[in-house]
Structure 1
Amino acid sequence: MKANELKVKSIADLDQELLSLTKAQFGLRMQVATQQLSNNSQLLKMRRDIARVKTILTEKGTQQ
């Protein structure tokens, strides 16, 4: 997911995206705990995507 794609979304869409990413991150953390996740880089990628969404939400919040 790229920041340019996120900038064109509305705040409601970004909130929904953040919720879905957070749920997906929880699922990945459970897979790590049960040693079912073979690709640990997915967890790092998910954290970075969540950070991107939060950053864009903060930027949009300060513009208004």
Structure 2
Amino acid sequence: MASVKAKDLRLKTADELKDRLSVLKKEQFNLRFQKATGQLENTARQGAVKTEIAQILTVLKEKAAASA
């Protein structure tokens, strides 16, 4: 999956970002579980998911600060 640009995230609504965050957290859990059981094939995906989660959280905080 291609990396997500911050400007693309800023165009989404807070609800869309929260939905994507939920999906990514579930994927992150599944990746950790696969790693623990020795079934993880694409180890780089863990870092990509972690980065995207951080980007989404940053954009959500920016939106919250702008509305306050």
TM over 0.5: yes
Q: 1:5 Cα deviation (Å)?
A: 1.0
Corresponding residue pairs, total: 64
After superposing on structure 2, the runs of 4+ consecutive aligned residues of structure 1 that deviate more than 4 Å are none
**CA RMSD after TM alignment:** 0.7
User: The residue matched to 1:35 in structure 2 has which SS?
Assistant: coil
Specify the alignment match of 2:30 in structure 1.
Answer: 27
Residue identity (%): 38
Q: Deviations over 1:5-46 (max 9, x none)?
A: 100000011110100010011111111011111221110111
Counterparts of 1:42 and 1:35, CA distance in 2? 15
Where in structure 2 are the equivalents of 1:23-62 lying within 5 Å?
Answer: 23-62=26-65
Structure 2 distance, partners of 1:25, 1:46, is 7
Structure 2, gaps ≥5 residues long? none
